[in-house]
Structure 1
Amino acid sequence: MSAETSSKRQKREDYKKSLNKVDQNASLPKKKFYRQRAHANPFSDHFLTYPKSPSDMDWATHYPAFAVVNRGLENADYESHDLGNTSSTTTITQPVEIADIGCGFGGLLFALAPKFPNTLLIGMEIRTSVTEYVIEKIRALRTQHLSSPLTTPHNYQNIACIRANTMKFLPNFFTKHQLSKIFLCFPDPHFKQRKHKARIVSYTLNSEYAYVLRPGGIVYTITDVEDLRGWMVEHFEKHPSFRQVGEEEVEEDECVKVMRTETEEGKKVERNGGKKFVACFRRVEDPPWP
């Protein structure tokens, strides 16, 4: 490791520690301290933790404003009022409904939060430092709102971010038909043919999206690579659980307008004068069993 690399790492660690100070709680994190290479191998272990099933997922820690404590009694002696054997669990008042898969630095999350104030949104990102950035920014924005609720447009209590590899563990987080919207914004194109198996859209993965997405729900995709757009359209169209949304409806969708302008990659494409290719797919009703 070079001295320059070691110095940069030390500066990053010192900066992150400074965010824990009381007087820094409302400071927005600086993106330059959370930069990380864009590519991550989805087939690697990555030392991830994930729930065994959706019922094991602790959502309450991510959405404290929506958390409720359920208190129960185990073998309590009501006649003697012996309530020593009590238990309690913390849950949330409503399920997560919108997932931004590969959320990056969270631009889409922060833009959608005020548009869906009564809906819980989750960003899912595989890169460690990028995930830390989004979590720190959410914390800072929530703190700012508590200190000046009249000037902050939204309290950001309805968004959260977790580190996850959705290509492996998506059904571990969500129950069948739980989600209403899934966003796949500027996914890694994996240009080489031998790398196509690592693309976030495939016939197999589309079955998982169909499982967690409710009928009528929509998968939103955007890319600046026209060939990748064709790949995603091809694989969603051949899947029996999805139908492509018409162009007129796509153009009128408020989420599409936000998706085009608010992600970091989208802004980069805009600065470079590139094109953005959007395609949306609706989850259809499952056919009845014969």
Structure 2
Amino acid sequence: MSVSMPQKRYYRQRAHSNPMADHTFDYPLCPEEMDWSQLYPEFFSGPGNASAKAGARVEFADIGCGYGGLLVELSLLFPNQLILGLEIRVKVSDYVQDRIRSLRVAESGRYQNIACLRSNAMKYLPNYFAKGQALVYTMTDVEEVHLWMVKHFSEHPLFTRVTEEELADDIIVSRLGTCTEEGKKVQRNGGKNHLAVFRRVED
């Protein structure tokens, strides 16, 4: 089927949005009140184990998902797991939502496990995700930001850094800097992406 994909030039917006600004968002009061079937209707209604689907929850969250490159990449790698992008910018989140809708129509049966929400992760992440779900991948081409994130995660008692040896076979790591628009821009400009991964410590 020939489907017209959304064009980025119609969704352009400033690279950053102030997370402290007074935005208006709809969000659940707690993770238990989130109805994921609204975002993944075919995933929940399609063939398969109904009881397992009823208890399904998001396993991957791309915070600041940009134009959705990583979501699309992960969708085919993990077709049986729910993947969510969170993006604060209006036009950019609109683009990702339109992109996902177009992909679902163009390739029937695929991309039913990804979705995008416009939200402020700094404020509302605990409203969507239950305690203890986090394996956190951080990547940036700004070394100062990388060092800041490493410092604060390392000092936090609930996280421990995942070693390079443990990440050797991680199929996500190799794609973080290559499938997103920002990652591709860094590569074109000869820059370097800085990666650090942290695991939530069991209580």
TM-score normalized with structure 2 length: 0.91
1:250 maps to 2:167:
yes
1:123-138 matched pairs, under 5 angstroms: 123-138=85-100
1:112-191 matched pairs, under 5 angstroms: 112-146=74-108, 155-177=110-132, 179=133
Mean CA deviation greater in 92-101 or 125-134: 92-101
1:60 maps to 2:37:
yes
Alpha-carbon shift at residue 57 of structure 1 (Å): 1.9
List structure 1 segments (4+ residues) > 4 angstroms apart after TM superposition: none
1:104 aligned residue = 66
1:48 aligned residue = 25
3-state SS of paired residue (2:166): helix
Contact 1:224–1:275 (Cα < 8 Å) also in 2: yes
Q: Which has the higher contact order (CA 8 A, sep 6+)?
A: 2
Q: Deviation per CA, 1:175-227, whole angstroms, max 9, x where unpaired?
A: 223x3xxxxxxxxxxxxxxxxxxxxxxxxxxxxxxxxx2xxxx2101111111
Question: How far apart in 2 are the matches of 1:231 and 1:247?
Answer: 19
AA matched with 2:69: G
User: RMSD in angstroms over aligned alpha carbons?
Assistant: 1.7
Number of positions where the alignment pairs a residue of Structure 1 with one of Structure 2 = 196
Q: Which residue among 136, 139, 151 is the counterpart of 1:234?
A: 151
Question: How far apart in 1 are the matches of 2:89 and 2:54?
Answer: 26
1:36 aligned residue = 13
AA matched with 1:27: S
Mean CA deviation greater in 166-175 or 48-57: 48-57
Alpha-carbon shift at residue 92 of structure 1 (Å): 4.4
Question: How far apart in 2 are the matches of 1:270 and 1:121?
Answer: 25
Contact 1:66–1:94 (Cα < 8 Å) also in 2: no
5+ residue gaps in structure 2? 46-52
Question: How far apart in 2 are the matches of 1:266 and 1:250?
Answer: 19
Give % identity.
54
5+ residue gaps in structure 1? 1-22, 69-90, 150-154, 180-212
1:205 aligned residue = none
Question: How far apart in 2 are the matches of 1:251 and 1:101?
Answer: 23
Question: How far apart in 2 are the matches of 1:67 and 1:282?
Answer: 29
Contact 1:236–1:243 (Cα < 8 Å) also in 2: yes
Alpha-carbon shift at residue 93 of structure 1 (Å): 5.0
Question: How far apart in 1 are the matches of 2:175 and 2:202?
Answer: 27
2:202 aligned residue = 285
3-state SS of paired residue (1:280): strand
User: If you compute each CA radius of gyration, which structure gives the higher value, 1 or 2?
Assistant: 1
3-state SS of paired residue (1:161): strand
Q: Which is richer in strand?
A: 1
Question: How far apart in 2 are the matches of 1:251 and 1:243?
Answer: 17
2:57 aligned residue = 95
